[in-house]
Structure 1
Amino acid sequence: MGQLEEIDADRLRAWLPEVRSAEATAALMVAIAYDRGIGTGELASWYDRSEEWIDETIAALDSPGLVSTVARLEGVDIEAVAAESNLAPATVRDWFDALADDSVDEAADVVRRYAEGSVEPVRTGSPSTVYHLDWSVVAERGWSMDDEDLFEKAADADLGLPEYGRFLVEPNESILEAAERGGRSWPYACRGGACSNCAVVVVEGDVAMPGQSILSDEQIREANARLSCVGVPITDEVKLVTGVGDGDAFADLRLPSPTDGPGAAD
């Protein structure tokens, strides 16, 4: 019986031919050898590394963080990927680790793209379900976006479109595009991440925003605001509050909408 606790050593062996860097190769071989009963002191001597490096490497690979560890060893700049998509680095690490559910060759292909310098937006490879609730309903009923059961309340209130509903977002769609495909008429102006007209607040799940240039870090990190025109779900489900772009917090970031009539305010 092997010494690894979380990961089957056969999966590590499957990763070996897929990696390109000497660092990743050495790390995988260390973990495989450890599973065969080789002690950490002997491994440190074999690979001319400190025992601390050996211990940390084995712990990182023998964990749910396997894929993000391989990605880091392959040279993926997780912080740069996070910045490109306006996400927290921890969210990007979790996204990489979710690839553990895919076959090794599929997960390795994603890692390889990022390792080769393709700092592209984080995107899911499968449809996501988006639940939406309009801010006006939240305010009228005295609810709060901090309520853990906010969307349960909305479901029990027997609300319907346009105030409340759900739809699927395909992998190559923004949230706004999917909403419009489903017959919804949401506010927008630039459609390119340069105004706040289409702003939403993410209550549950997470949304990447490649290309946004208007929201502050505080609005993104603390208020959990996103722009639906460039927003791409990266979790299987997302729950968001719409209509927040009309609020005071975003007033200075709005643009005249194409749907505004003559004489609309600038």
Structure 2
Amino acid sequence: MGQLERVDADRLRAWLSEVRSAEATAALMTAVAYDRGIGTAELASWYDRSEEWVEETITALDSPGLVSTVARLEGVDIGAVAAESNLAPATVRDWFDDLGDEPVGEAADVVRRYAEGSVEPVRTGSPSTVYHLDRDALTEHGWSLDDEDLFEKAANADLDLPEYGRFLVEPGESILEAAERGGRSWPYACRGGACSNCAVVVVKGDVAMPGQSILSDEQIRGANARLSCVGVPITDEVKIVTGIGDTEAFADLRLPSPTEETEASD
């Protein structure tokens, strides 16, 4: 029986044939050799590394963080990818690690794409279910964004569209596009991440925002606000509160909407 506790050594061997950097190759070979019973001191001598490096490398690879570790060793700048998608680095690491359930070849293709220097937004390749609750309905019922059971309350309150509902976001769609495809009429203006009209608050899950240029770090990190016009779900399920763009905190970032302009001209 091998010494690795969480990862099958055969999976590490499969990664060995996929990686390109010397650092990733050395790390994977170290973990495979350790699984065969080679001690950390001897491995440090083999690869001219410190024993601390050997122990840290084995721990990182023998964990749910396998794919993000390989990505880092292959040269993926997780911080840059996170910045491009307006996500926290931890979210991007988790996104890479979710690839651990995919065949190694498919996961390696994703890692390779990011390692080759094109920092592109994180996008999921599978549909996501989005649950939405209108802010006015939340206020009328005396609920709070901080309620852990907020969406359970909404589901039991006999609410219907447009106050509450759910829809599927297909790969390549923004949340706003999917909502409109489902017959919903949500506020918007620029449709390009340059105003707050379509702002939502993410209560559960996470949403990447490639191309947004208006929300502050505090609004994104602190309030967990996202723009639905460029928002792309990166988790299987997302729960959002809509109508946030109408609040005072976002008033200065609004633009006249096409609907408002049409009504004014009439």
Once residues 262 and 156 of structure 1 are traced to their aligned partners in structure 2, the CA distance between those partners, rounded to angstroms, is 37
2:99 corresponds in structure 1 to 99
Once residues 10 and 71 of structure 1 are traced to their aligned partners in structure 2, the CA distance between those partners, rounded to angstroms, is 18
Q: Is residue 24 of structure 1 aligned with residue 31 of structure 2?
A: no
1:164 corresponds in structure 2 to 164
Partner amino acid, structure 1, of 2:139 = A
Partner amino acid, structure 2, of 1:44 = A
Matches within 5 A, 1:9-158: 9-158=9-158
Once residues 252 and 101 of structure 1 are traced to their aligned partners in structure 2, the CA distance between those partners, rounded to angstroms, is 44
2:233 corresponds in structure 1 to 233
CA distances 1:124-152 after superposition (whole Å, capped 9, x unpaired): 11000000000000111110010000000
Partner amino acid, structure 2, of 1:187 = P
Corresponding residue SS for 2:69: helix
Q: How many residues align?
A: 264
Q: Shift of residue 262 of structure 1?
A: 5.1
Corresponding residue SS for 1:259: helix
Corresponding residue SS for 2:31: helix
1:185 corresponds in structure 2 to 185
Q: Shift of residue 179 of structure 1?
A: 0.3
2:242 corresponds in structure 1 to 242
Partner amino acid, structure 1, of 2:128 = S
Corresponding residue SS for 2:92: helix
Structure 2 gaps of 5+ residues are: none
1:2 corresponds in structure 2 to 2
Q: Percent identity of the aligned residues? A: 87
Once residues 22 and 170 of structure 1 are traced to their aligned partners in structure 2, the CA distance between those partners, rounded to angstroms, is 38
Once residues 8 and 118 of structure 1 are traced to their aligned partners in structure 2, the CA distance between those partners, rounded to angstroms, is 31
Q: Shift of residue 96 of structure 1?
A: 0.1
When normalised by structure 1's length, the TM-score is 0.98
Q: Shift of residue 118 of structure 1?
A: 1.6
Structure 1 gaps of 5+ residues are: none
Q: Is residue 195 of structure 1 aligned with residue 187 of structure 2?
A: no
2:254 corresponds in structure 1 to 254
1:216 corresponds in structure 2 to 216
CA distances 1:175-210 after superposition (whole Å, capped 9, x unpaired): 000000000000000000000000000000000000
CA distances 1:16-42 after superposition (whole Å, capped 9, x unpaired): 010000000000000000000000000
CA distances 1:153-178 after superposition (whole Å, capped 9, x unpaired): 00000100011000000010000000
Once residues 69 and 229 of structure 1 are traced to their aligned partners in structure 2, the CA distance between those partners, rounded to angstroms, is 32
Once residues 29 and 141 of structure 2 are traced to their aligned partners in structure 1, the CA distance between those partners, rounded to angstroms, is 59
Corresponding residue SS for 1:57: helix
Once residues 143 and 231 of structure 2 are traced to their aligned partners in structure 1, the CA distance between those partners, rounded to angstroms, is 25
Once residues 30 and 118 of structure 1 are traced to their aligned partners in structure 2, the CA distance between those partners, rounded to angstroms, is 29
Q: Shift of residue 224 of structure 1?
A: 0.2
Q: Following TM superposition, where does structure 1 have runs of at least 4 consecutive aligned residues deviating by more than 3 angstroms?
A: 261-264
Q: Is residue 205 of structure 1 aligned with residue 230 of structure 2?
A: no
Q: Shift of residue 258 of structure 1?
A: 0.4
